[in-house]
Structure 1
């Protein structure tokens, strides 16, 4: 009995140590050597920082609020949402336009600050989703339930790993591999920078009413949690609520409200019908802020070769709702 108890304690200690390594180094997850074991179960130890980030939002009652903090939170939401939708999704996952290596890295860095893991992980999971959308092999289909599709899949053992077989075109960039492996480095740096900036404002511009703890809570925790939940509504809601212009093999829908919240990602049925375009709002009234931003970057010669929606697809879109 004592031997079994000691073995159990050792096993729990090993799991805790593995979780700690996983918080810092995603290679520890990939090298765990037990792929396939309980892959669909939530790894609560590994998920503790994610849970803690949500709990930290409650600190708004302690730090108060200022217009400065709200503007910082809004700006970081917008910048990081564009990095996710324009680059993590439309560039890294679907290669719908071209960018230089420095530009690619700059937006990968900004995307990494979103706390949605690294660009390789994101692209690999999204490519998997398109191959298996709304089947048993799709980790975040709403057919498995709302909470599973919204957040549960993100916290599973299988969800933490990166399937490198799907991202051979991206693995050749060591800077992207570094961002993917040490995916907490950029968020921690952003949090520290916000705290320092807030303390600097408190000292040299006290009339703004901001300080370090306030910018940390609003600019990092609140903004990041809002950004995460807005992003994953495309998994949990855009396959449930909205209109189906195209009869795709999945349950994707077009939803104006989600499109506004996610800078154009809510035109999800359009996207699943033709994922090879940098534009997801196929009709003039389908607001696609990410597309407008990419067009502006192309005008400034920062990105180029934006892939349009083919004329035949646009013709079918005009004939639909």
Structure 2
């Protein structure tokens, strides 16, 4: 799929689901809605959400873990079903983003070439959220940014047959609703609406919000060279992607929620695959390395500690620095 076809696809994947949402609201107002619509919406949202977060992002783009080929293909297919574009182009864009995050060349930074103030902030948010996908100069060559993925025949097939897979993901919830309601045609049709098109609208804008909101609003635990933020309220619907500052600090980490209270659904899925011996080479971050980096941020950005406390903190961290090792090679290899 070339750049022109990709833009047309994104336009269709943005406008058609939006129209479907308006239609669904009208039907809901007129009480044309049933329990089966909720079921297929939740099922398909979970499938496509894990497909993007676990499949496209952590497995393909950052190589955070390895798994068997059938699972790899299944996760990539689930990612295609989200309607965010071919896996090769998605991974290429994202690897490019990490290499120059919030700097010249970043495909979707909200901070480049926008005037200061409210108007510029809104323009930047729109660009990072969705506008960047319509940029006629947008290019991230898969052969340059993800040649390892281009060599995989199933990923090439999914990229070339994107429309077929996305269409199947709209029909599938209709078939599920038809089956669980005992053959209700109406349930089948509304299932396609809610589990198909409305679901694509919701999952896409959750993902886009990580690019936009996640680089403007939220908390920064780690001092990174970009403007990434952790957005707690977005963490569950984004399957853990909204712990975005954590991710930019340690891109290859299979877990984005670094604290016990930072819920990361994709990390739970990867952990489950590992425990059942269906995943291996799961990239983890040395807790000492994480502690050291977080403490360094306090010193760089103006810690509230007094000199005595700061000296004690440095003395405690010194042994870690001597024996600690950076288990996350992504600091020099963003892939």
**How many angstroms does 1:89 deviate by?**
0.5
**How many angstroms does 1:178 deviate by?**
1.2
Name which of 89, 114, 117 aligns with 2:57.
89
Q: TM-score, normalised by structure 2?
A: 0.77
Closer/same/farther in 2, CA of residues 46 and 107 from structure 1, 3 Å limit: closer
Closer/same/farther in 2, CA of residues 173 and 45 from structure 1, 3 Å limit: closer
Name the counterpart of 2:74: 106
Closer/same/farther in 2, CA of residues 72 and 195 from structure 1, 3 Å limit: closer
Please tell me whether the aligned partners of residues 124 and 167 of structure 1 are also in contact (alpha carbons under 8 angstroms): yes
Partners of 1:46 and 1:225 in 2: CA distance: 12
Please tell me whether the aligned partners of residues 29 and 160 of structure 1 are also in contact (alpha carbons under 8 angstroms): no
| Deviation readout 1:267-299 (Å, 9 max, x if unpaired) | 111111111210111122221111111101111
Please tell me whether the aligned partners of residues 230 and 244 of structure 2 are also in contact (alpha carbons under 8 angstroms): yes
Q: Does 1:228 align with 2:207?
A: no
Name the counterpart of 1:186: 165
Q: Which sections of structure 2, spanning at least 5 residues, go unmatched?
A: 113-123, 299-335
Name the counterpart of 1:18: none
Please tell me whether the aligned partners of residues 83 and 111 of structure 1 are also in contact (alpha carbons under 8 angstroms): yes
Name the counterpart of 2:318: none
Q: TM-score, normalised by structure 1?
A: 0.80
Closer/same/farther in 2, CA of residues 133 and 201 from structure 1, 3 Å limit: same
The aligned runs of 1:1-321 (5 Å cut-off) are 26-27=1-2, 29=4, 47-60=11-24, 61-62=26-27, 64-144=32-112, 145-159=124-138, 162-201=141-180, 204=182, 211-316=187-292, 319=295
Kindly report the root-mean-square deviation, in angstroms, between the aligned alpha carbons of the 2 structures: 2.5
| Deviation readout 1:140-180 (Å, 9 max, x if unpaired) | 11115111110111233344765321111111111101111
**How many angstroms does 1:230 deviate by?**
0.4
Most deviating of 192-201 and 101-110: 192-201
Closer/same/farther in 2, CA of residues 311 and 197 from structure 1, 3 Å limit: closer
Q: How many residues align?
A: 282
Partners of 2:293 and 2:62 in 1: CA distance: 21
Closer/same/farther in 2, CA of residues 288 and 148 from structure 1, 3 Å limit: same
Partners of 2:241 and 2:13 in 1: CA distance: 27
Which SS does the other structure have where 2:242 is aligned? coil
**How many angstroms does 1:201 deviate by?**
4.9
Closer/same/farther in 2, CA of residues 82 and 184 from structure 1, 3 Å limit: same
Which SS does the other structure have where 1:298 is aligned? helix
**How many angstroms does 1:49 deviate by?**
4.8
